[in-house]
Amino acid sequence: MRLYFSPDYVAARHAFDTTRKAQWIVDSLREAPIPGVDLVAPAPLTRDQVEAVHDPAYVRAIETGEPRHLSESQGFRWDGALWRAVLASNGGVVAAARAAMEDGVAGSLSSGLHHARHDTGHGFCTFNGLAIAAKAALAAGARTVLIVDLDAHCGGGTASLIAGDTRIRQIDVSVSPVDSYESTDQCRLAMVRDAAEYLPTVRRMLASVDGEGFDLCLYNAGMDPHEKCAIGGLAGITRDMLAERVQTVFAWCAKRRLPVAFVLAGGYTGPRLHRAELVALHRCTLSAAIRMSLLYGQA
């Protein structure tokens, strides 16, 4: 299974989980490999691919740093390496989407960056990898793309970017109202306030699009619903539940022979969630993806 990563993913000077954890996971894979995972460096995005989704003035601001109100609109200090980092990490999402269409399953150790909007960053997200990859998959021959966003927070940026393009659908199960939006038939949003409702809601949302054919699933596999996660966590959501969620999504895709490309999305260290625990949570996604890739290989 191709898993995309390059050292440029973590090139931005601003250090927090989203700009650093890809390296933590690569370090962990070097120490304790998951058989079948092939780390591959993606081609960086081209300007045209970014501008298929984002306003050229905003794209220029990320490249040059000016004006600051745009280049730092995602919420952190701009630096000269940010451009290289976001082209590489979002390039990984596009590469994973294309690899999944060939192999059945692939992933990128980057985030979906689902809060980024057309002409501005938002919520620590610079460019929206999910929307960029969905459009790139359509350009590469997919007729319809399903985005399954299970990050703790709502994917309001993605919803705004795909609105009106009915070839792309989104189902979104969130445990935090951050970046919420009006649920529509195209972008279905479910809010969960009680951990006991979490897995049943994920299953219900998947079932709600059961009868529809898709050519690709983009899975925003956030681990921030975990109860110990300082940003987004919901009491009662455990590692076992998140592992079951991951298995549920991959099994649902496998049953339909629906290719799936996953990205890490949210998951934040803090006083109650240490780095090793966060890495272990994201490794649940990698292990389940490998099981699915074996199913595809055997068929």
Minimal distance in Å, beta carbon 112 to Zn ion? 9
243, 198 contact by CB (below 8 A): no
Cβ-based nearer residue to Zn ion, 140 or 230:
230
Q: Which of 44, 92, 129, 266 binds Zn ion (CB under 5 A)?
A: 266
Cβ-based nearer residue to Zn ion, 142 or 152:
152
Q: Which of these segments, 16-24, 87-95, 223-231, 268-276, binds Zn ion (CB under 5 A)?
A: 223-231
Position 92 contacts Zn ion (CB under 5 A): no
Please tell me the count of residues contacting Zn ion according to CB under 5 A. 6
Q: Which of these segments, 66-74, 162-170, 225-233, 286-294, binds Zn ion (CB under 5 A)?
A: 225-233
What is the total residue count of the chain? 299
Q: Which of 17, 151, 172, 179 binds Zn ion (CB under 5 A)?
A: 151
Q: Which of 152, 159, 253, 286 binds Zn ion (CB under 5 A)?
A: 152
Which residue matches tokens 């990490």? 89
Q: Which of 153, 226, 228, 282 binds Zn ion (CB under 5 A)?
A: 153
Across the beta sheet with 2-4, what order do the strands follow? Answer: 38-40, 2-4, 105-108, 260-263, 216-220, 145-149, 168-174, 187-191
Minimal distance in Å, beta carbon 58 to Zn ion? 22
* Rounded Cα distance, 156 and 180, in Å: 6
Minimal distance in Å, beta carbon 175 to Zn ion? 9
Cβ-based nearer residue to Zn ion, 181 or 296:
181
List contacts with Zn ion (CB under 5 A): 151-153, 224, 232, 266
